[in-house]
Amino acid sequence: MNETPFNPNVESPATQEASKQTSQGMRPVLIWDVPVRLVHWLMALSFTGAYLTSEADDWRWLHVSLGYTMMGLIVFRALWGFIGSRHARFTSFIKGPTEVFAYLKSLVSGRAQHYAGHNPAGAIAILALLILGFIQTSTGHLLYQDLAGEWMEEVHEALAAVLLGVVLVHIAGVFISSHLHRENLIKAMFTGRKRADQKVAIHSHWRSIGLLVLLMVSAFWTYQLQDQLQHQSKNTANDGKTATTESHATTKQGKHEDDDD
């Protein structure tokens, strides 16, 4: 039996679309819409920022803001996975164990199957990131609202470490896939274009939805920043009043001591 990945006679029905795509006639076509790309990079920015500020008390407001941003983005991406464009939908890239094993086998053999959208192994990493990310941000919300004890803080930190591990595996997978397919997948997540048959291309960037997401995130960040600046201003004013009160008390005490003399 011929085990060539692109032979339709040996592939499962779930991989027929990927198998039909050969190197002949394939050219860069639109695969990822704007919402998918925007949410991807905003989530990467939010997780990185939240992780770097997790131990800094002075930047707690930023840590919390980025955490809530990530939670909102995950909720949107989950929704977009049902109503979004072709390759954004979960049904287009979530495969069964047989399909995942077949793809991993093709990687080992050096004849990696090509998928227009996410490959089966990448799909596992994406699901893990979404699920773990939502649980992680939920534990952060419980801590911020004082709805859980100190044990939740340990869970929150442990989940952050696990999530970081999944992120690193995902990044490694992107570089490996880029090398095997001789295709810059990082660039594709910026441009939205990958080498594929024109038949599997999407026909809309969905820029309006992407703009709506960007405006909502920007509005939230602006609100959080203004709230933090107001909080700092009040603290500065209170510190000034306290210092003035202490100064007056010291002066009054000094005069009282002089009178006693």
Phi and psi at residue 116, in whole multiples of 5°? -65, -45
Cα Rg, the chain, nearest whole Å = 26
Residue 8 pLDDT grade (very low, low, confident, very high; cuts 50, 70, 90) = very low
Contacts with 124 (C-beta within 8 Å, 6 or more apart), sequence order = 100
**Distance separating alpha carbons of residues 227 and 62, to the nearest angstrom:** 11
| pLDDT number for residue 16 | 45
**Distance separating alpha carbons of residues 159 and 91, to the nearest angstrom:** 27
Check residues 87 and 244 and name the one with the higher pLDDT: 87
Phi and psi at residue 194, in whole multiples of 5°? -135, 160
Which of these ranges, 79-83, 176-180, 226-230, has the smallest mean pLDDT?
Answer: 176-180
User: What is the pLDDT of the chain when averaged over all its residues?
Assistant: 85
Query: How is residue 260 written in tokens?
Result: 């006693």
Q: 0.85 exceeded by the pTM?
A: no
Residue 169 pLDDT grade (very low, low, confident, very high; cuts 50, 70, 90) = very high
Average pLDDT over residues 144-157: 91
| pLDDT number for residue 249 | 56
| pLDDT number for residue 256 | 56
The partner residues of 195 in beta bridges, in order of sequence, read 28
Average pLDDT over residues 15-22: 44
Residue 14 pLDDT grade (very low, low, confident, very high; cuts 50, 70, 90) = very low
Contacts by 254-261, CB closer than 8 A, 24 or more apart: none
Residue appearing with tokens 């939908």? 89
| pLDDT number for residue 251 | 58
* pLDDT exceeds 50 at position 23: no
* pLDDT exceeds 80 at position 3: no
**Distance separating alpha carbons of residues 49 and 43, to the nearest angstrom:** 10
Average pLDDT over residues 30-34: 97
How do beta strands 27-30 and 193-196 pair? antiparallel
